[in-house]
Amino acid sequence: MPKRFNWQLGRDMEYTYDGPPPARQVAYIFDTNKCIACQTCTVACKTCWTSGKGQEHIFWNNVETKPYGGYPVGWDLKLLEQSDPAQWRDGKLTSLTIFETDGAGKPPRGHRPVPDDYATPNLGEDDVTGLAELGQYFGDTHPMWMFYLARICNHCDHPACVAACPRKAVYKRPEDGIVLVDQERCRGYQECVKACPYKKVFYNIINRASEKCIGCYPRVEQGEVAFCVETCIGKIRMHGFLTTDGEPREDNPLDYIIKVRKLALPLYSQHGTGPNVYYIPPVHVPDGFLEQLFGPGVEASKQLYRNLGSDKKLLGALLLFGASNRILTRFEIQGEEAVGWDVDGQEVARVPFVEPIHHRPHYDDRYDVYRHNTA
């Protein structure tokens, strides 16, 4: 079986299909500290892409409450129960990925959910790990906690869905790394559903074919961010491209946040698929739980986040989240503003570090009226 370098694991890894990396890799950053679980992203994706017959149970975008929530039910726990605990040494994974656990040439280790697992997409919403006592206050890390985890397909570097499909119906686009299912080739064997560690391929019982998040590719081709990104109320999301043909660029906001500063971390990278949704971990949650999800970089990431006030370039990059419906490919700090440019080289975002405050007088000379709400 060919070997590939997996930069998230710091080592080579067995992978069924070899191929060159895409010209650039679509990627997303989600700041879990800002998500309010309003589900606007979920509804935006659902109404646009999956409102048809056979898609009633399908949410390409979902937002679940950790630690108890999950859609489909137990998507992550069921795989973790079948796997040895992830082991890291000096940033390198020493345990086995899903491509290696069962030996060379075998399908990736996985499980296929049953239909009932899709019946409660928001099970466990807002459930906290414990009850606070009267008068108790929280400091840095909270003794009882929960947080919201927004999830879409990771458009992985080494997709398990691609590796598992006996029909070669699932493929990764060479131009941007978006992973798609060819509906004509798919025969509904659901090997991709079983293999994806994130359970982000779904079976449509009416079409008798598998389907998944299409990365909003018609929008990406126009330089626009995905619907779930544009509609995000909390502005927790950034959508763009990682550089694949050289060193990470300091002026590419995704390269900078993910690869240069390592503030945003991949989800369950120990499975080996090279996921491309990167999360800024919630700073109030204990490290033990977070390291299972986001790997060994959690503590350093939290430290960076807490120090943002004195880290102007990193803070500036974060200010550009949700600042434009155009994909940003370049950014810089100009004085007291963060500025972003799109794929066409046009300036499309300019965000001040401090929002200007305008004081309006109680009495308005021009209209000879008093303002009663001057806030």
Given a contact cutoff of 8 angstroms between Cβ atoms, the answer to whether 257 and 240 are in contact is no
Of the pair 212, 261, the CB lying nearest ligand SF4 is at 212
Of the pair 27, 236, the CB lying nearest ligand SF4 is at 236
How many Cα neighbours within 13 Å face the side chain of 196?
27
Closest CA to 148 of 235, 60, 66: 66
Of the pair 152, 348, the CB lying nearest ligand SF4 is at 152
281 makes contact with ligand SF4 (CB under 6 A)? no
Q: How far is the CB of 363 from ligand SF4 (least distance, A)?
A: 40
d(CA 167, CA 320): 41
Of the pair 45, 86, the CB lying nearest ligand SF4 is at 45
242 makes contact with ligand SF4 (CB under 6 A)? no
Q: How far is the CB of 283 from ligand SF4 (least distance, A)?
A: 17
Give Cα separations from 50 to 46, 141, 189, 200, 223 (angstroms): 5, 38, 21, 13, 22
Give Cα separations from 343 to 13, 212, 216, 225, 252 (angstroms): 33, 26, 16, 11, 11
Token representation of residue 102: 């069962």
Of the pair 274, 339, the CB lying nearest ligand SF4 is at 274
Q: Which helix (H) or strand (E) holds 338?
A: strand 337-342
Q: Which of 55, 61, 83, 301 binds ligand SF4 (CB under 6 A)?
A: 61
Q: How far is the CB of 273 from ligand SF4 (least distance, A)?
A: 5
- By DSSP bridging, strand 277-280 and strand 24-31 are parallel
What phi-psi label fits residue 129: left (phi over 0), alpha (psi between -120 and 50 degrees) or beta? alpha
132 makes contact with ligand SF4 (CB under 6 A)? no
Given a contact cutoff of 8 angstroms between Cβ atoms, the answer to whether 167 and 187 are in contact is yes
- Cα radius of gyration (the chain): 22
198 makes contact with ligand SF4 (CB under 6 A)? yes
Rounded to 10°, the helix 298-306/287-294 angle is 110
d(CA 51, CA 58): 9
Q: How far is the CB of 197 from ligand SF4 (least distance, A)?
A: 7
63 makes contact with ligand SF4 (CB under 6 A)? yes
Angle in degrees, CA 214, 147, 340, rounded to 5? 55
324 makes contact with ligand SF4 (CB under 6 A)? no
Q: Which of 169, 214, 280, 348 binds ligand SF4 (CB under 6 A)?
A: 214
Q: How far is the CB of 362 from ligand SF4 (least distance, A)?
A: 36
Site string for ligand SF4, 153-172 (x = CB under 6 A): xxxx--xxx-----------
Q: Which helix (H) or strand (E) holds 181?
A: strand 179-181
Q: Which of 45, 258, 283, 290 binds ligand SF4 (CB under 6 A)?
A: 45
39 makes contact with ligand SF4 (CB under 6 A)? yes
The DSSP code for 227 is H
226 makes contact with ligand SF4 (CB under 6 A)? yes
Q: Which residues pair with 337 in a beta bridge?
A: 334, 352
Q: How far is the CB of 321 from ligand SF4 (least distance, A)?
A: 10
Q: How far is the CB of 59 from ligand SF4 (least distance, A)?
A: 8
Q: Which of 27, 169, 216, 265 binds ligand SF4 (CB under 6 A)?
A: 216
Interacting residues with ligand SF4 (CB under 6 A) = 35-41, 45, 49, 60-61, 63, 148, 150, 152-156, 159-161, 179, 196, 198, 200-201, 212-216, 226-228, 232-234, 236, 273
